[in-house]
Amino acid sequence: MSEQYVVDFHEVDETHVAVVGGKGAQLGALSRIEGIRVPAGFCVTTDAFRRIMAEAPSIDGRLDELSRLNPDDREGIRTLSAEIRRSIEQIAIPDDLAEAIAGPLVRLGEQGAYAVRSSATAEDSPTASFAGQQDTYLNVMGPADVLRHVGRCWASLFTERAVTYRLRNGMDHRTVDMAVVVQRMVFPDAAGILFTADPVTGNRKLATVDAGFGLGEALVSGLVNPDAFTVRDGEIVARRIAAKQLAVHALPTGGTREVAIDPERQEQPALTDAQAVRLVRLVRRIEAHFGRPQDIEWCLVGDEFQIVQSRPITTLFPIPVSDDADPHVYVSVGHQQMMTDAMKPLGISVWQLTAMVAMHEAGGRLFVDVTARLASPAGRAGLLDLVGRGDPLVRDALETVLDRDDFVPSLPDAGPGGPPAGGVSAPIEPDPAIVSELIERSRASVAALRRDIRTKTGPALFDFLLDAFEEHKRILGDPLNMQAIMAGMEATWWINDNLQEWLGEKNAADTLTLSAPDNVTSEMGLALLDVADVIRPHPEVVTFLQGVEDECFLDDLAKVTGGTEARDAIEAYLDRYGMRCVGEIDITRPRWRERPTTLVPVILDNVRIFEPGVAERRFEQGRQEARKKELDVLSRLRALPDGERKADAAKRMIDQVRAFIGYREYPKYGIVSRSFVYKQALMAEAERLVRAGVLSEKEDIFYLTFQELHEVVRSNRVDGRLIQERQDAFRAYRALTPPRVLTSEGEAVAGSYRRDDVPAGALVGLPVSAGAVEGRARVILDMAEADLEPGDILVTAFTDPSWSPLFVGIAGLVTEVGGLMTHGAVIAREYGLPAVVGVAQATRLIRDGQRIRVHGTDGYVEILP
């Protein structure tokens, strides 16, 4: 189609986006679906747009200026985009191009009425809808007016909203071209919008139909409240008929106007129930053709439906792929692992290959199918108890699904539900030697992995790694390892439950776990204080670090006074903890060893804020507080009826907590240590592939699964289009918020706290570390950008172990995601920080710099005047 300026709808389909833009490609595809009526029309191609742009060389310089603007510079965008639009609209359309556009109008009817609609190459794609970014003109009459409005559509590529959207999404303005759709107008009795999935809950079984009288513009522009129908399985399950006071009608001379609807018609439905059901049945064909839920604009002319637009709904969270049509309930892994960001394909596949349970991918996140557990009474009770202790929102979401009639099948306990989840593990003696043995086993296994992997390259490396993944799972699944993890958690629950019943004290275990031994994550935060102690006496080192930008700064550090000692201290820290990073369950994330500049701001804050020797003093202070609390609790218990028995039982559980709760953090450290060894070996293969010209960048391997990368290494061939598609998908996934619970119908279930014991206006969450603190909220989404002062309260989306170095300098913690036993909660208790987690939308509802009060014992946050 080189230099072809006009194509008819029937000549294009969804593969021709580069030629006719997203809207044009969708309309071409729609016109080919049997039984779907699309008003006739044609597309003015992107060749025409590029020719017009070439007629005005001055636009090129303005595009450079536009690309340099900040997305928040509204005045700059408004001024510059208006100049570009004026320049495009003033370009005279060459005669041959004008004739090409006018040609189809003769066939369709020169004096007919047309809709002239923008169709950009970046709109209506599966990953970005760009809805409403460019312009549409209705009831355009005559060839001259059509040509004028085609020019206005070209110019609308540079509306303020379109330019801002591209700037925010990091898109180059030159990579987007504009086609134009010219389509016969229809003058409907009713029109509206239909979503083939519920846009709020994501449920793919529910279709929602909005309908009004006249042209659909009245609905799209928000002029009227529409009638709303919800259809499921061929039946209306909900209906709301609105008072529709206005409609938009076409004028005989061109253009449109608002018309008042007769009072007696206002509350009449724009569609009958039978018509709404018939419309949904019709558009399910469109959904099936495109393979994903659609946002559809429709018109009713007489008793015939015509479709004037269909675009993918890009805001829905995808559903895990299943090999059957049975109902499934999935629980988010990211909410348990404190990493709700999207993961890249290599990270997902390596986590799946090393996980103890089967995991399903959707939207760049991992989920566990809990349907079988929920099906049996004992499995259900055990699972709800386990997840409820960790994250009440997950429990509430699961109970919401269970309340639906017959969604989860009911099976006897002997069925596939198996033994109850999270049942009490076999008893274990609170012997510190058990933890020492487990830590030594893990260290030896990582050392053997490092030693044995050195000689492995090419396909042999992948065979070796598959064996290493089995060893990885064997270590995790070691019965003694599982017993030690559960022993600390169960003792914590026992203490909190029983001491609240016996002494009326909430969350007593929070103080009893202070400075627990063998907690590798809390030690990591304290160890960075020791690094600061080495650096503090050397002002030249501090000055040098304040100007660090390059990741190779350690090489130059030794050149300044005191730099050798500082470098050695940082290197020793990286040797122990350099495999960690934010979002560390994704093997593709840059580790501290790969990006040591991440630690520099935290080190400098530690130098500035703290006195020498604070790490040792803080640990000892916590240990003393825990000991004092233990003596106090046991003394008060002995004064109760049956006090000696209660005190003896409590003493056993306190010993169990002190012995094992610190170890709760070590298995994750072992996993991440092994994962970094895997990553270094895979990156060496990536470098070889780049040298061989197979890949353009070594990070391209992140967009392949482990199995796909194995094949690329074996064949020395890669599908570049697949990598590009995966990169596009990953960008789209990053914008999605993963649900805690997801059903196979696509419904995202958030769960809610059912509490009435919090003050009005307070933000409710889960209490995970006792105490109350008031201070300045610091809303931080990137650890590398932390700028904390003593007494600040950290507010963030989630924290994994990599955030613990920040915990030593804050007074409290608020997160959007988390549970009683997730890493942020454990470390908050270790350091004695009042903490509330699972606070929905905390980073949006709390503004950076506001004063807040964190009630870590009762689980809520107050925003103070």
- Mind telling me the catalytic residues? 823
Helix axes 74-89, 143-155, angle to 10 degrees: 150
What separation in angstroms does the CA of 260 have from each of 248, 257, 270, 375, 704? Answer: 9, 10, 15, 55, 57
For 453, list phi and psi in degrees, rounded to 5: -80, -15
**Rounded Cα–Cα distance for residues 659 and 432 (Å):** 6
- Please count the other Cβ atoms lying within 10 Å of the Cβ belonging to residue 626: 20
Residues 218, 224 contacting (CB under 8 angstroms): yes
Sign of CA dihedral 288, 290, 294, 296: negative
Contacts 24+ apart (CB under 8 A), 411-416: 411/372, 411/375, 411/376, 412/376, 413/376, 413/377, 413/378, 413/379, 414/376, 415/372, 415/375, 415/376, 416/372, 416/375, 416/376
| Spatial CA neighbour of 374 closest among 332, 418, 344 | 418
HSE value, Cβ hemisphere, 13 Å, CA-based, for 449: 27
Residues 419, 386 contacting (CB under 8 angstroms): no
Alpha helices in 173-323 (DSSP H): 217-220, 263-266, 273-290
**Rounded Cα–Cα distance for residues 791 and 14 (Å):** 56
Point out which residues pair with 861 in neighbouring strands. 763, 854
For 184, list phi and psi in degrees, rounded to 5: -55, 130
| Spatial CA neighbour of 163 closest among 115, 122, 116, 217 | 122
Point out which residues pair with 853 in neighbouring strands. 774, 862
**Rounded Cα–Cα distance for residues 37 and 606 (Å):** 68
Strand-strand pairing, 812-815 and 835-837? parallel
| Residue 749 burial (C-beta neighbours within 10 Å; 0-12, 13-18, 19+) | buried
Point out which residues pair with 140 in neighbouring strands. 114
**Rounded Cα–Cα distance for residues 387 and 383 (Å):** 6
| Spatial CA neighbour of 824 closest among 341, 397, 391 | 391
DSSP string, 417-466: T-SPTTPPPPP----HHHHHHHHHHHHHHHHHHHHHHTT--HHHHHHHHH
- Please count the other Cβ atoms lying within 10 Å of the Cβ belonging to residue 407: 17
Question: Can you list the positions of beta strands (E) in 273-429?
Answer: 294-301, 304-312, 329-332, 360-362, 365-369
